[in-house]
Structure 1
Amino acid sequence: MSIYCPTDPPSLATVLARIRKKKEDYARYNFTQTQGRALRAFFDLAQEFETLENFYRVSVFVPKEFLGVDTCLYLVSPDSGMLEVICDSMNGLEICGMPVPKGIEIRDHSYEINDSFVAPIKGNRRLFVQHPIQKAKDVIGMFEVFPLSRLDEKDKLFFEKYANRIGYNLHYKLIVKQNVEHIKFVNTLVADIEHNVLVPNMRYKVFLNSFNKKLKEAKDIHAILKGKIDEHRQKGCPHVKELESAEKRMLALYNDLLAQYQELEKHYQNTSLFLESLLRRDHFEKGHLVLRRRMCRFKKEVIDPQLERYRARLERRGIRIDDLMGGIPEEEDIPLMVDVGLISQVYANLFSNAEKYCKEVLNEQGQPVKFIAYGREIINDFFGPGKSGIKFNVFTTGPHIPPEYASHIFDEGFRTPDAQKETRGVGHGLHFVKKVIEVHGGVVGYEPVKLGNNFYFILPLHMAIKEMGGCQLDGY
């Protein structure tokens, strides 16, 4: 089991400063022994009881049991922004839903009303995911303590801090509740996806097979028709020209339908591959990308199909596909053990970006050029002694990415200012590439090179198996 490490943790100096500040604060508060025990009991019981209902009970009954005062908990409705009665120390949850007493209102500071002291319940608004509180700002509720006659100034300070502790704990309770609801929803959604998306998509394969059979029948009929026309031509039939015209039209229609079938077949294969690899149940159940590796010819099964998808689009934008990086000869197409669907989407993202951002530049002879190139190379000992890697490159001509942005291009949601001006997007593509390659045990990167930019990823060579005179790479 891996240990969670935050990507941007506070510095040690910041943590120590906060600890020392808290130490000073508690010395200044000078809570009584009973008040200190009440706080510790609240913290312990807030963690012990999981449901919100029991948390509400703990919030109001701890002060009564330890300090002998009555309390009432009010929370701001996320829908209306108005206070609602939740629980008190005399009736428990039975008071929930009753009208809020006159004078009890939302304020961002403590106040006194009749025989009660009322403190705001505040929390960290960043923790609100689903229902932002607008009317109450950072106040999520109010905590009423009575009778006022039993409270001195130190008691009032204690209940202000106690109300804050309710707020912080309540936020996390709400997040847990929300996450449980989200998990239930995702599990239901996964079942719906399998039933309403993946299974119906498989039926298209049946349709395509039927379509292909009918095309073969049409081809057979055309052959029969052509043979009959030849017979009538030999017999000098006066209607031969009409029949030949109909035969040519039929052949043109057949070729057109065949071309459409081939396009549909390619689209189906690619869409099915992406649907299966993105929407598989394992991703949702495990909470991360789960690989289904199989041995494949990397160029033939991964790169070529995605390049064909984008070839026409690249050509429409005047982008040439070049072999500057040597390409990958068929005889050097090393088999790799990868998740074909996910790796295919890596190339789909890289070729899509190439289409968007490839720019014309001047070569060494001063001639304008605009092209992309792809290739691969083996890097010895990249992952350590005896652990080589295979580097896959996708190059595009254009100005280099400024250094201050280059280190962030694989971050979630990041887009350079120029990219934001030129094309629409959300900055997710390269981050997705990074996640897929890393779950394969590889790394991603960018490097400015002559005439443009190279985006690459490096996979461990031990994922490859290639027979070389009876030997296998890296012991395989």
Structure 2
Amino acid sequence: MGEEVATKDLEPIVQRVKQKIRDYERYSFSHVQGRALRAFFDLAQEYETLDNFYRICVTIPREFLGYQCRLYILSKDGRLYLVADSQKGLLPPGTMAPKTLCLSETPYEKNGSLFCPIRGNRRLITKLPFHQEEEVIGILEAFPLERMDDKDRLFFEKYANRIGYNLHNKILAAENIRHLRFINNLVADIEHNVIVPNLRYRIFFNRLRRELKRLGELETALREELSSSEPPNLERIKRLAAGIFNIRCQIETEIKEIEKHYENTSLFLETLLRRDHFERGELVLRKRPCRFYKEIIAPQLERYEKRLLRRGIKIDNRLGGIPEDEDIPLAVDVGLLSQVYANLFSNAEKYTREVENQGHKVKFMAFGREIIPDYFGPGKPGIKFNVFTTGPHLSPQDVEKIFHEGYRGTNIENEPGTGHGLHFVKKVIEVHGGVVGYEPKPLGNNFYFILPLKSEPAPSKEDGF
């Protein structure tokens, strides 16, 4: 009984194995061709990266059969790229395939070469990182054609199929790894930009409790004064009433601070916890035109202004600031760009240091913007946003690595941090099509990012450095 159940369970696989036996008998591959296929399977398992897999695909036919090969792969942008050549090796990224090539469902001959379609796994075709309704995801070119007989043509057709299934699995594996890395980074973004700042709620609530305790003490004193058998002391009552009023004003101020913090936290949470980020494994922008200063800079400046002043850091206008009513032709993701400024202002709070300027001690932060004509090419201006802080210049070692994930500069002293903030800034700006950078300036350090402009607005004031 047990053997019958096992037979029924295995029957579909048994039939498929028998079909393969018949197929290989029909193919009648030569001994060398059979060895080539076995070597391909072994090496495809041995080498994990896509680059090495591409090299294997074009090298096996050359070494075993004496045929040259080229490998073309469909990319995320839907275009066909030449990725490897048996004579040149791995090609530079972005090497386009000839426009005359087409993704055919069947092999075809052209210009002395055989072109075989590379098919992926039909059941998993929708999992690929590019849109492709058919399962053809590349082309294998083999030459010279004049040497090939029918058995060679059949070999390359089947070899291309083997490449396809292995390639499909390796692309999916690479995408899964990339996706997991992105999610890990996104979790770090959430921790850095949301969870850690949210610890300020504890400060808010502690201050509220302190004010409420003082309020309770004043109310008790006022009741005692009013219930005393002695005539009420009007001066003392006025002082108590004034104290209660001051505490009420302080509580209202704290509530406003909490509301601002809540609005900021909600914006950051909505931005970082978008479902699209997790599904696509990359930051998905929600761009819209905005008033850059009013919607992005001003709320973050308001958050950090008191904290900067508590550390003796003035907000200077040497970079010209950014006009509040300026209409910069930018469409950006407001939530992500707000976090960029939050990170830059947070770093200013931590690392601004006092320096001497013309015999006076100064300690300040400044911000501004300037237009750079043709930065992204002829007729393609960029707009450079600067955040400057006084202090010693960064070391060459810091400059080289300051935007790397997890790197913290040598000037950190006892300041808390994770080394994630500037890396986050870099990711956000680059996904907007911009660039980030650092430059030493007289009196201190300037961190900047440059975004492409749709058109060039009126020129701004020159930097004051």
TM-score, length-scaled by structure 2: 0.49
Higher relative contact order, chain-length normalized (CA < 8 Å, sep 6+): 2
